[in-house]
């Protein structure tokens, strides 16, 4: 059997802000880590996990050490990972106090018969496997009700206050976004993963698309691999990752499929998102309908390609 040339794609989220120089450098480093694993015969699954771990650890994106705070001042993170050969998948939602939710998601896939663990039990599970910890609440964070609630609807604020009967804490700023990756290994297997700290001003317990298989990620060797970023509620309502993969089965080009589905996201529910799309033949697309998407790819030739505006 002829060996397939591997490739990896990664993203640091889509939104209004342009990519910064440190974020671009971090994405390049992450792509190098992932590709070198693939080049040595490593699996797409492990390459995706390790690529995302670099981004989680950096603190430059809304994942791992850079995760945003929910309204009670706690980091609650989501992640998922999936491989396309046997359709194995694992996910965690609202996990606290760890640096690498993507690894917790892989452990759910490999060490249990389940697909997703959530909340406090997910945190206990991660601690059982001695995953690296971080504070649930940042040690150095200013407090201020006015700053925390700026832009929050009165209904959401009222709901939160009724629920918690407590004070609010200042949200973190910095334009950090969800991270993700897709990869193709030498055996022709694809994998996809994503990790996030959510969105600004979340109600505690809010979960977006990232840990939901078929919404934030999907991988199937018969179609391809997808990792999403953007407004999770809209991505969930259209199950975007699975829809992209379903259309890939029809033989359409990844860029065509990505554009069609993202256009439908806008016209149907006024959503906003970006996507990494990769087939088991190595065809790929990076597409977004938001002004910027920090992303890149590398197939081992030249230097990793990183930017924030793609077709």
Question: How far apart, in Å, are the Cα atoms of 287 and each of 73, 190, 195, 214, 263?
Answer: 33, 19, 19, 18, 11
Q: What DSSP assignment string belongs to 223-247?
A: TEEEEEEE-HHHHHHHTHHHHHHHH
For the CA atoms of 98, 66, 274, 187, what is the dihedral angle to 10 degrees?
-50
- Taken in order 53, 57, 58, 60, the sign of the CA dihedral is positive
* Length of the chain as a residue count: 311
**Residue (of 171, 208, 182, 167) closest to 77 by Cα position:** 208
Question: For this structure, is 210 an active site residue?
Answer: no
Q: How many CA atoms, within 13 angstroms, populate the side-chain half-sphere of residue 54?
A: 24
Looking at 178, 196, 229, 279, which residue is catalytic? Answer: 178
84 near 189, Cβ under 8 Å?
Answer: yes
Burial of 162 (0-12, 13-18, 19+ CB in 10 A): exposed
306 near 28, Cβ under 8 Å?
Answer: yes
Q: How many CA atoms, within 13 angstroms, populate the side-chain half-sphere of residue 164?
A: 17
Question: How far apart, in Å, are the Cα atoms of 190 and each of 83, 85, 127, 298, 308?
Answer: 6, 7, 29, 15, 24
**Cα–Cα distance, 63 to 100 (Å, whole number):** 8
What is the set of active-site residues? 178
């Amino acid at each position: 059997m002829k060996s397939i040339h591997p490739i990896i794609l990664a993203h640091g989220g889509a939104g209004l802000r342009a990519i910064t120089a440190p974020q671009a450098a971090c994405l390049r480093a992450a792509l190098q880590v992932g590709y070198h694993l693939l080049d040595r015969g490593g699996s797409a699954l492990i390459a995706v996990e390790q690529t995302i771990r670099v981004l989680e650890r950096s603190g430059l994106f809304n994942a791992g050490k850079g995760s945003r705070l929910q309204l009670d001042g706690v980091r609650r993170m989501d992640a998922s990972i999936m491989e396309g050969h046997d359709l194995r998948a694992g996910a965690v939602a609202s996990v606290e106090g760890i640096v690498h939710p993507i690894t917790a998601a892989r452990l759910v896939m490999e060490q249990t018969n389940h697909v997703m663990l959530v909340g406090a039990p997910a945190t206990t599970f991660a601690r059982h496997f001695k995953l690296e910890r971080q504070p649930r609440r940042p040690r150095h964070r200013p407090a201020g009700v006015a700053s925390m609630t700026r832009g929050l609807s009165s209904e959401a604020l009222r709901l939160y206050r009724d629920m918690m009967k407590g004070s609010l804490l200042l949200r973190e700023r910095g334009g950090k976004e969800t991270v993700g990756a897709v990869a193709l290994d030498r055996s022709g297997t694809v994998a996809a993963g994503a990790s996030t700290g959510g969105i600004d001003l979340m109600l505690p317990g809010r979960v977006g698309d990232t840990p939901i298989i078929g919404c934030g990620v999907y991988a199937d060797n018969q179609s391809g691999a997808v990792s999403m970023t953007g407004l999770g509620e809209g991505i969930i309502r259209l199950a975007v990752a699975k829809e992209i993969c379903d259309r890939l089965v029809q033989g359409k080009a990844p860029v065509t499929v990505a554009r069609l589905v993202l256009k439908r996201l806008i016209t149907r529910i006024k959503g906003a998102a970006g996507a990494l799309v990769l087939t088991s033949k190595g065809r790929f697309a990076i597409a977004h309908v938001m002004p910027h998407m920090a992303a890149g790819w590398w197939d081992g030739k030249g230097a990793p390609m990183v930017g924030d505006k793609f077709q």
